[in-house]
């Protein structure tokens, strides 16, 4: 079974996809993982991506689509996959529909206010890289990492102004894909507002039902 995990920044795509991968035995494939693996392997596409990233540029649809196509052709993806972070544009969605059509798109619906709360509340440790959240997973001592005692800081991407900018980009570039997948009949909306365990409990049952119906 082939699933795309979709939603705004901070919707929980990576977290839910990782849990689903473990629960259902499907490879969790993210664009970040694809880029890093291709660069490590030194494939022709990987070298092109490395050159773009090192120059500070953005990886084009053409390159991203090529790398995803390569990755989905690997043996571990033959029985299905969970895509996280792809597609992000209409060109990417149309390409995926051509070379490896999705079965379902899990749309994690989260309000803008919740996205801002989740991302702007995140704190990272400068020492060990552990992630905390001032509301959802606070450290024992404010501003100090529980593990190594390092200083906790706000990443530039997690500043409230940056989060709102990311949301604007999402609505402009990625949100139109919702209508695309509705027309294809593959969109499955899931409320992503709750705590991770609550969202996962609902999502797991929805996915189990979809997978079982696909086997029938």
Alpha carbons 50 and 63: distance in angstroms, whole number: 11
Tell me whether residue 118 is one of the annotated catalytic residues. Answer: no
Instruction: Look up 13 and say whether it is catalytic.
Output: yes
Mean pLDDT throughout 107-126? Answer: 93
Of 88, 114, 164, 204, which residue is the catalytic one?
88
The span from the CA of 177 to the CA of 188, in Å, is: 13
Catalytic pick from 2, 13, 48, 123?
A: 13
- Label residue 197 exposed, middle or buried (CB < 10 Å: 0-12, 13-18, 19+): exposed
Higher pLDDT, 24 or 46: 24
Q: Is 166 a catalytic residue?
A: yes
Q: Give catalytic status of residue 71 as yes or no.
A: no
Q: What is the CA radius of gyration of the chain?
A: 18
Note if 88 is an active site residue.
yes
φ and ψ at residue 160, rounded to 5 degrees: -55, -40
pTM of the model: 0.84
42-93 per-position pLDDT tens digit: 888 888 888 887 887 778 999 999 999 999 999 999 999 999 989 999 999 9
Query: Of 50, 69, 114, 166, which is the active-site residue?
Result: 166
Q: Is 111 helix (H, G, I), strand (E, B) or coil?
A: coil
Q: Which domains does the chain have, with CATH numbers?
A: 2-215 (3.40.50.300)
């Amino acid at each position: 079974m082939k699933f795309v995990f979709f939603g705004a920044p901070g919707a929980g795509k990576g977290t839910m996809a990782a849990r689903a991968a473990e629960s259902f035995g499907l490879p969790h494939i993210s664009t970040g993982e694809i880029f890093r693996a291709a660069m490590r392997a030194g494939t022709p596409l990987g070298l092109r991506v490395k050159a773009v990233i090192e120059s500070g540029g953005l990886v084009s649809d053409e390159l991203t689509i090529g790398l995803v196509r390569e990755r989905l052709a690997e043996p571990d993806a033959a029985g299905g996959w969970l895509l996280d972070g792809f597609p992000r544009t209409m060109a990417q969605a149309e390409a995926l529909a051509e070379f490896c059509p999705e079965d379902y798109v899990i749309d994690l619906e989260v309000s803008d206010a919740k996205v801002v709360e989740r991302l702007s509340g995140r704190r990272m440790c400068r020492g060990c890289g552990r992630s905390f959240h001032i509301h959802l997973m606070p450290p024992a001592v404010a501003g100090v990492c529980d593990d190594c005692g390092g200083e906790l800081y706000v990443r530039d991407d997690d500043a409230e102004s940056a989060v709102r900018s990311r949301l604007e980009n999402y609505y402009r570039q990625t949100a139109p894909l919702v209508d695309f997948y509705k027309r294809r009949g593959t969109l499955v909306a899931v409320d992503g507002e709750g705590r991770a365990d609550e969202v996962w409990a609902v999502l797991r049952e929805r996915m189990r039902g979809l997978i079982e119906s696909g086997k029938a």
